[in-house]
Chain A
């Protein structure tokens, strides 16, 4: 029974942890507490045996409430949970989920890049390396790196055209 719970927890954690931390970080304004907040939400759901109900919107709602509680506690005052729950409309969570799906699609698009191209793209973005450094590391010319990056962006643009269009529309709609 407990073993199944842990397996379920790992699945949910792997899929959602990063997105929930990004969301919580936006709410509390800092990354470090956000990591703890999200971990604690997962722990709490594990303890109360509610992991099986954890849909994406349920998880985002839990993290939202935990983040707002964190803000309230750090302000050294207590606000009834029920009133904070109304503070952020449901729509925000739907937008967050849409954003999460966009990131997942982007990730899938990056993963589908040609092998060399993908490697260089990740090196540049994930390691924060300059083209020069990547070039010397891979033993290729600066221009080859640049060419790979151009290919990468063309590929992503193709995959993400629809996605970015949607993203912009969401932003306009919010204004």
Chain B
């Protein structure tokens, strides 16, 4: 290097040299290559509809693929260990004893003779033995966090129960009424019987049914609840108001007010299948659902992120990492795991 004039700061000239080198066109070429990949990946993801989450305009769009899958961050590695729930329930029989069900085959007989059979695929099935046995006895099925279970009641009505929910029902329905009590979320396919209305009671309202399929979500720790009708007709009684729900309608109860809105019931009546569906739901509600299914705590570092909305679906039987990745891909939130707590924050 020249040793000539020293009074111009050598440091700033060295920086200038570095700057000049970095202004070489090869860097823009490299950048364009990366951009190509991102744009192509973005298009591909848009095409794969089953993995796509479409965003509402309020959420700034875009993908975030800075991290190669090969270089997972420590958080991602631990998120991968947060596994989904599976078939799990606790059955409380009329004598107060409890049975832990996990999909194994199990058979027992209630005091009134009703046979209870539990199998992996069919769930619990109640088969009445003697229709003349009128003793009103109740069973309660409790689904813990990270669990789900399905049950066929003695009248043939099928119920799918979601995590952290419970259903109390008579082992054998009386002559005049079929009444069950629900806490949490369940999807009902009620067998038709005009003479014996089917009633679902929750903490907020009672739903009167005449053969139909609908979903009820009414958790104690949510500040809203809703009932969505897929088929048939139901009547909702909330305090002193009586509302009829038609297929494709949802009764939403929030802050003590009942609102009927049109929805696509598919979003609300398919959670018992392979995927979770979100109908432009807030991130707050989504994380609440995930916290029940993965049994984790969720903390929002940025309040604002709670109001991000999502529409689309995510796989249900995979580690929470996959779901977090999909959400991270489509908006600027980031998930981190600390012990059993998922921290949600806005990127940057």
Give the interface of A toward B (CB within 8 A): 2, 6, 9-10, 13-14, 17-19, 21-22, 35, 39-40, 42-44, 46-50, 62, 65, 73, 76-78, 80-82, 99, 102-103, 106-107, 110, 124-126, 128, 130-131, 146, 149-150, 153, 156-157, 160, 164, 167
Contact = CB atoms under 8 A, between A and B. Distances in A.
Q: For the complex, would chain B's binding face be called helix, strand, loop or mixed by DSSP majority?
A: mixed
B27 A78 contact: no
Contacts of A77: 74
Interface in B20-44: 20-23, 27-28, 30-31, 34-35, 38-39, 42
Contacts of B28: 10, 13-14, 17
B249 to A, nearest CB: 36
Interface in B176-192: none
Contact of A81 (B7, B23, B65, B348): B348
A157 B30 contact: no
- A-B pairs with the 4 shortest C-beta distances? A18-B22, A47-B62, A48-B62, A153-B5
Nearest to A18: B22
Contacts of B18: 18, 22
B335 to A, nearest CB: 11
A8 to B, nearest CB: 12
A170 B35 CA distance: 38
A125 to B, nearest CB: 5
26 contacts: A17-B31, A18-B21, A35-B22, A39-B34, A42-B31, A43-B38, A43-B66, A44-B347, A47-B42, A47-B63, A48-B61, A49-B60, A49-B61, A62-B348, A77-B74, A78-B336, A82-B345, A99-B15, A103-B15, A103-B19, A106-B16, A126-B20, A146-B4, A149-B2, A156-B8, A157-B7
Nearest to B24: A18
Nearest to A157: B8
B31 A39 contact: yes
B133 to A, nearest CB: 60
Interface string B123-142: 00000000000000000000
B258 interface: no
Interface residues of A, dominant DSSP: helix
A9 B35 contact: yes
Contacts of A130: 2
A167 B66 CA distance: 36
Given A81-B345, A110-B16, A150 B4 contact: yes
Contacts of A149: 2, 4-5
B22 A17 contact: yes
B61 to A, nearest CB: 6
Given A48-B64, A48-B332, A80 B343 contact: yes
